Amino acid sequence: MWPGCARAPTGHLRMDEQLVRLRAPLTDDVLRTVRAGDAVVFDGVIYTGRDAAHARLAALLARGEPLPIDLTGQVIYYVGPAPPRPGQPIGSAGPTTSGRMDRYTPALYAAGLKATIGKGHRSPEVLAALVEHCGIYLAAVGGSGALLARTVVRADVVAFADLGPEAIYRLEVHSFPAIVVNDIYGADLYADARRRYRIAPDAEG
């Protein structure tokens, strides 16, 4: 029997230019169809969160207290958006290095989170949590914050407003692009690239 929610082996990474359109809340059945290497666009709602917000969420979980947002089936984008220009919902919104959230992430997947978006590789503990709790990790393109901001049609602070740009925002997005790095079957796009091209583990940023 395959661990977590997986029902079949991954076989190999899929790099066939398939574009997958996703909308939260994500379900296990949907994520069984998503594979490492898939190009994805998100429509609808995603949430933001960085170090300080993650620390607070993890502390609430540890104390058994309710979270300010329902994580079930949801997506968190690791970003601290810049202030918006007049008439825009959000400023530049490029991804933050995901490893900074690794210590908190397994608990959030256990609480129902289904996807995170950032840049860089994840810890072994996070990768194990993805398989156990049927979650995925995706990469957004670093340095493209202004372009990614164009996919945001609305941005509202929904928790921890005192953190300023590191507060949790509820973003409404249309065609927000990302690449699946780790799927529910344990496939790892970065690890596969290192094997193929002999890239050192710290070289992908």
Which residues participate in catalysis according to the annotation? 54
Q: Which two tokens stand for residue 98?
A: 């995901």
Q: Which two tokens stand for residue 200?
A: 């050192």
Tell which residue, 108, 95, 51, has the closest CA to residue 205: 95
Q: Which two tokens stand for residue 86?
A: 């007049």
Quote the CA–CA distance of 54 and 158 in Å, as a whole number: 14
Quote the CA–CA distance of 115 and 136 in Å, as a whole number: 5
